[in-house]
Amino acid sequence: MRERIVVALSGGVDSAVAALLLQEAGHEVHGLFMVNWDADEAGRCTAADDFQSARRVAAELGIPLHRANFARDYRERVFTGFLAALRAGLTPNPDVLCNREIKFGVGLAYARRLGAVRFATGHYARIGPGPTLLRGVDRNKDQSYFLHALSASELAASQFPLGELHKSEVRALARARGLPVHDRRDSTGICFIGERPFAGFIGEWLELRPGPIRALSGELLGEHRGLAAYTLGQRSGLHIGGRRDGSGAPWYVAGKDLGANTLLVVQGRDHPALFASGLRAGTLCWVRGAPPAPAFRCTVRVRYRQADVACSVALAGDAAAVCFAAPVRGVTPGQYAVFYDGDECLGGGVIETLQPMTGRAAA
């Protein structure tokens, strides 16, 4: 049945092919370009180039293109919380909130005002019966991690045309149909940072107070530029020189002491302090509206590019105690723990604390 479907056109190849597939399926397709950040400095954000790219795609497909500015919503619903988390010593992931609050929040509402039956994006994920959220067929590109905070009602009004495809197939389709973005480079990071160094951008919004870098023994090793510029497991940017009595192995961030404004580091990628046996997550979201049970077994992903690990989950109110079947490296407060039952994404929550290998809870 022919439906009006609004596609979030970003100017990239994925959203372009999503629009193409829906058009070839016989639907009345409209494009929606969302502006989420007002660039106030030349070169800060690629939104202008992205919009021109989206215009070329819409012209090639012969579909209307709408442009909506959600920058104020983004500042209030995503960026403000992002900065607050950094101040608290966390490593937030704004992409999850951007999907829930912007794309499938005000963006979905805007699409409905345009008369859309459904709202489509170029995410690599699938919608199953229920509806449920499923991993994309291309496991290397699967983006269900970033969509775990969506509700069943939002999924019911959405569509992910690329969920059954691999990235190589998407590029091939774009090339075969003559889409002008078939060879456009994939975007990286988030728009308001772009290709610039993260620490340099954050320094424009937060006061970065330099302080000591210390080993867990308390030994002074150097000076950091500000705790918000670092994340757990980080190796680059520490500028700790070689030590005559050291092993020569690289140093990694193992923790932050906010009270003392101190960055804690350890030597060696496999140092036990970089691993956790479990975590506590809060601000939980469940795709089906409720967890499978008060206690259950599943797999969990603690970062987008990190492999799933088997775990047990015990719920208490709006918190989950997660115990890993094997130690996990780089568990980071502020990131998301996302739970899976096979291909189904159950939901997830914000990592609040981790359980180090010593058995003592840590922030």
Catalytically active residues, by annotation: 98, 191
Q: Estimate to the nearest angstrom the gap between the alpha carbon of 228 and the chain centroid.
A: 18
Q: Is 356 exposed, middle or buried (0-12, 13-18, 19+ CB in 10 A)?
A: buried
Tally Cβ neighbours within 10 Å of residue 310.
12
CA distance 93 to 111: 25
Tell me the helices (H) and strands (E) count for the chain, helix number first.
10, 17
CB 356 within 8 A of CB 315: no
Measured in degrees and rounded to the nearest 5, phi and psi for residue 48 equal: -65, -45
CA distance 362 to 254: 11
Beta strands 275-286; 344-356: pairing state: antiparallel
- For tokens 């008369």, what's the residue? 115
Q: Which of 351, 189, 202 is nearest to 280 (CA)?
A: 351
